[in-house]
Amino acid sequence: MNPSKPLQTATPILIAELRRWGIRYLMTTKELEGELSPLSPADLLCGLARSDDPRVRDALVTLLILHPELADETTKIIDQQDPAIVAPLRTLALASLYEQRIWYPLLTLALGSPPHIPEASLAHIWQELHFPPPYQNFGEAGLYVLAEHERERTGIHADYVGDWHNQIHQLIDQEWRERPDGTTISPLVTISPLVITPSWGDTYSDQGEMNMSLRPNVTRADIERFLNELGRQVRHATGRIYLVGGAELVHNLVRGQGASTADIDLHLDVSDQQEVEQVIRQLKTRLSINIELASPGDFIPLPSSWSAASPYIGRYGQLDIYYFDYISLALSKIARGQARDLNDMELMARQKLIQRSDLEAAYQQIAPQLGMGRFFNIDPNQFAQQFTAVVQRLWPSASP
């Protein structure tokens, strides 16, 4: 590093340099991009760590994803113990490791090969801070602990997780857009992980997930207690309530005995939604659990048979409780594409809760709606690639 350089590198200069390194979703003028002399890797990393522009500073996460060879340079800078640089650089280096784990499947598809920031070279950072390792809970446990640490360090109550996720989404979108027509992306079943070995099919564990919120994780017993209280306190409304996502997988023991989830996601189809919501709000506080009204239909089109295909759990008071259709749940997990989502899908396939033929039929039904109306943000071609890769991963013997 050149000590004569100014402490704060101008944002346009950093953006122009990032574009040279392949981060093209940040924009600057063409003239500036062509006129500047390249920064050294050390000067670029230090400049990003010092930047007061969050969107530029956080691009260090995707820079390390695209250029894992910068991990060694990052470690050298951190070891120099310059507080103005070390704290943000350490945070963003860890964020890149956790995000690499979380978004491993989609990053692999978008980049054409697995991301491979070497975790071993940065291990001393999370060990010294006593943070969860990247392999715990697919990176999620560590990412949320890191975000809380950053809020305490900066005194800014920002949505750091959302900011870091946004950088990954921008990179994935960039790589999909720039992929030449006709380029074949290797399906997940043929990918040979380099440094990282995702634990496909391992026993699911939400260990550490309670760090994601102020309330503890939710177990099967917690969900059952909530359903009993809900049925007892709802006096007038009738109809159906669906357990969704992690709540249904935990309650139905899909993730195994002792598993937990961050919250209880519900879909309501009741005669008096106001009464039910009021009771839910009261129970959320009294039982100290996270409850959200969310379902796959908020994110993807649903196949017409989703309601009929939803398994019945039982009657609680005047309410009939169901698990949300597993095929629809699987399609929404393909759309999101996190490593944990693929693990859940493998568990569902292994337990015969989803079949390839049913999943393909549902996909063919919703495919014409992708990219249209309120689902216009879903790229149909990207979803098709993700769908094919996941299906070949789950049912390799049936692949052509």
At 72, list the tokens: 């060694």
- Greater confidence, 15 or 178? 15
pLDDT value for 225: 97
Q: What is the mean pLDDT of residues 159-174?
A: 93
Q: Residue 230: pLDDT above 90? A: yes
E strands within the chain? 218-219, 239-244, 260-261, 264-270, 291-293, 312-316, 319-323
- Please report which confidence band the pLDDT of residue 180 belongs to, taking 50, 70 and 90 as the band edges: low
CA angle, 354 then 357 then 362, to 5°:
80
Contact 321, 268 (CB under 8 A): no
**Helical segments of 287-355, H only:** 326-336, 339-350
Q: How far apart are the first and last CA of the chain?
A: 53
Q: Residue 203: pLDDT above 80? A: no
Most confident of 177-181, 237-241, 396-400: 237-241
At 237, list the tokens: 């409304």
pLDDT in tens, 364-395: 999 999 999 999 999 999 999 999 999 998 99
Contact 105, 200 (CB under 8 A): no
Lowest mean pLDDT, pick from 54-68, 173-187, 255-269, 368-382? 173-187
At 108, list the tokens: 């692999």
- Please report which confidence band the pLDDT of residue 28 belongs to, taking 50, 70 and 90 as the band edges: low
Contact 261, 217 (CB under 8 A): yes
Contacts of 231 (CB under 8 A, 6+ apart): 315, 316, 317, 318, 319
Q: Residue 277: pLDDT above 90? A: yes
- Please report which confidence band the pLDDT of residue 187 belongs to, taking 50, 70 and 90 as the band edges: very low
Percent of the chain having pLDDT more than 90?
73
Q: How far is CA 114 from the centre of its chain?
A: 16
Q: Residue 33: pLDDT above 80? A: no
Going from the C-alpha of 263 to that of each of 19, 80, 290, 347, the distances in angstroms are: 39, 42, 5, 20
- Mean pLDDT score across all residues of the chain: 87
SS3 158: coil
Q: Residue 350: pLDDT above 60? A: yes
- Please report which confidence band the pLDDT of residue 152 belongs to, taking 50, 70 and 90 as the band edges: very high
Contact 75, 121 (CB under 8 A): yes
pLDDT value for 157: 85
| Longest CA–CA separation in the chain, Å | 74
- Radius of gyration of the CA atoms of the chain, in A: 23
Q: Residue 43: pLDDT above 60? A: yes
Lowest mean pLDDT, pick from 115-129, 135-149, 200-214, 337-351? 200-214
Alpha-carbon gap, residue 104 to 340, rounded angstroms: 10
Buried b (16+ CB within 10 A) or exposed e, 84-123: ebbbbbbbbbbbbbbbbbbbbbbbbbbbeebbebbbeebe
Q: What is the mean pLDDT of residues 314-326?
A: 97
Q: Residue 188: pLDDT above 60? A: no
Q: Residue 242: pLDDT above 50? A: yes
Q: Residue 204: pLDDT above 70? A: no
Beta strands at 260-261 and 218-219: parallel, antiparallel or unpaired: antiparallel
Alpha-carbon gap, residue 244 to 269, rounded angstroms: 13
Q: Residue 293: pLDDT above 60? A: yes
pLDDT value for 107: 94
Lowest mean pLDDT, pick from 121-135, 173-187, 215-229, 326-340? 173-187
Alpha-carbon gap, residue 141 to 262, rounded angstroms: 11
Amino acid at 61: V
